[in-house]
Structure 1
Amino acid sequence: MSDFVVVIPARYGSTRLPGKPLLEIAGLPMVQHVWQRARESAAARVIIATDDARIEQAARAFGAEVVMTRADHHSGTDRLAEVAAVLGLPTQTLVVNVQGDEPLLPASAIDCVAERLAADAGASVATLAEAIEDVDTLFNPNVVKVVVDNTGRALYFSRAPIPWDRNAWKTQPPVRIESEGWLRHIGLYAYRAGFLADYVTWSPAPIEALEQLEQLRALYQGHRIQVATVTEPYPGGVDTPEDLERVRQVFL
């Protein structure tokens, strides 16, 4: 497959976990674990993107390539676009966005999303999904669902339980899932660098504002998103103190 670049956006500010990228796990800062997972992938280059000198210093100390970015970005996608511009990446370069709070992320998932985008020349973005097997997950608005077509391209993303089973659910919510067809979106993305340059020029789409889902901006603008379905459980990231303790236990 084509060479690809991994960019790890790492912000110091966090409401629930201030300084999250530098929190220690098994004697190393969290962002170092993420960087090590990315280095195990087939990426030609792994870059940490930050606006904080403390993260920059820590990352350079363990040997990472660092790009300093502006502090006013609204999202990690905006930060990726700046990195692609600073590095002068050709428009067809594949850029994988790996969140800086996923120290358990398998390198195989990074390779999978990059390979999926490389295989579809008509797609601008690729991402991952996994099967939903329980009703609580399906009806949880904090879990994003995705519907795909027969080529694996996304039709829509929503916080609602899509697709809606009109006949089975017309009177009351289900107590169990009776068939396949529901997918949980996993927020690992691969982009073409040219798409990133365009993305930051677009205003938020109406559907994006309603759902609070950035990926809907791409669909609204007519871009294609490929979705690869993973077959192994995808490890969660670190958003809360409880998550941090859970991950620390894994490394014991």
Structure 2
Amino acid sequence: MKIISMIPARYSASRFPGKLMQDLGGKTVILRTYEATIATNLFDDVFVVTDSDIIYNEIVSHGGKALMSKKEHDCGSDRIAEAVENLDIDVVINVQGDEPFTDKESLNKLIEVFKNDPDKEVDLATLMVEIKDEDEINNPNTVKVVLDQSNFALYFSRSPIPYPRDKSAGAKYYKHKGVYAFRKQAILDFYKLPMKSLEASEKLEQLRYLEYGKRIKMVETDVQGVEIDTPEDLDRARKLWK
């Protein structure tokens, strides 16, 4: 089974433009993420895929591998699909460019999902972490997921799901971490399917898979890390790096 990692990287992020080129302990965020992914030794190859000459040059100038997107893309999955279409691979893992604390244990759990799925029932797998802080549960920037009994995703939302009408019911809340592992065919299918209303409403690309009947296996991790979406996140990351 050939497994690679792709790190989609846009320069003009809506909430924090240029965040991937910000300094984190003497190196840029995107270079830190790339090096952390390489350091896991889990992949046959690792690429940054970008629409930005600045990011492309940052990776290549430090001896890394980067690909330039040929088309404009609305989301990271589309960018990866274009990049892997003609590659001889089985599984591609999407590591977010703004997660420099990506860890080996969590990525290995995703890989194990496919190694233990001989009947190919899983189209993609992704990470989640339990959250208990009410502010985080209610924060629309924190994407929540609800599951069936086999840990397949039922729905993702920026809203608090499940709604706590009965707080004594003991429902758990899970935050979705945007690290995905795809079978190659699943991501190529995604690339060709039009966006539908749920994805358009919530602005969550994973809902396209659910709307078209794909099965998303959720894998729990206890590694929180720091996703750099805002300048405040970058401050937290710098403190954590020290």
Which TM-score applies when normalising by structure 2?
A: 0.89
Show the counterpart of 1:206.
197
Identity of aligned residues (%): 34
In 1, Cα distance between the equivalents of 2:95 and 2:146? 23
Residues 58-96 of structure 1, C-alpha deviations (whole Å, 9 max, x = no match): 2112221111113511111110001101x4234xx1111
Deviation at 1:148, TM superposition (A): 1.4
Any conservation in 2 of the 1:33–1:103 contact (CA below 8 Å)?
yes
Alignment of 1:76-87 (within 5 A): 76-85=76-85, 87=86
CA RMSD of aligned residues (A): 2.0
Residue in structure 2 matching 1:103, options 84, 100, 103: 100
Match in the other structure for 2:236: 246
Change over 3 Å in CA distance of 1:163–1:15 after alignment to 2:
closer
Structure 2 unpaired stretches of 5+: none
* TM norm structure 1: 0.86
**Displacement after TM superposition at 1:119 (Å):** 2.7
Q: Which runs of 4+ in 1 moved over 4 A?
A: none
Distance 1:23 1:165 in 2: 38
Gaps of at least 5 residues in structure 1 are 169-173
Task: Tell me the residue number matched to 2:127.
Answer: 128
Q: 1:160 to 1:14 in 2, by over 3 A?
A: closer
Residues 1:185 and 2:176 are matched in the alignment: yes
- The alignment status of 1:225 with 2:222, answered yes or no, reads no
Structure 1 pair 226/54, CA: closer, same or farther in 2 (3 Å)? same
- Distance apart, 1:190 and its partner CA: 0.7
- For 1:10 and 1:251, how far apart are their aligned partners in 2? 21
**Partner of residue 30, structure 1:** 29
The 2-side partners of 1:89 and 1:34 are apart by: 24
- Report the alpha carbon displacement of residue 7 of structure 1 after superposing the two structures with TM: 0.4
How many Å apart are 1:158 and its aligned residue? 2.1
| SS of alignment partner, residue 122 of structure 1 | coil
2:192 aligned counterpart, secondary structure: coil
- 1:39 deviates by 0.9
Q: Which amino acid aligns with 1:246?
A: R
| One-letter identity of the residue aligned with 1:116 | V
Q: 1:143 matched to which residue of 2?
A: 142
CA contact (8 A) 1:137 1:143 kept: yes
Q: Say if 1:50 and 1:67, in contact at 8 Å, map to a contact too.
A: yes
SS of the aligned residue for 1:5 comes to strand
Give the CA deviation at 1:180: 4.3
1-structure distance, mates of 2:15, 2:142 = 19
What is the deviation of 1:225?
Answer: 0.4
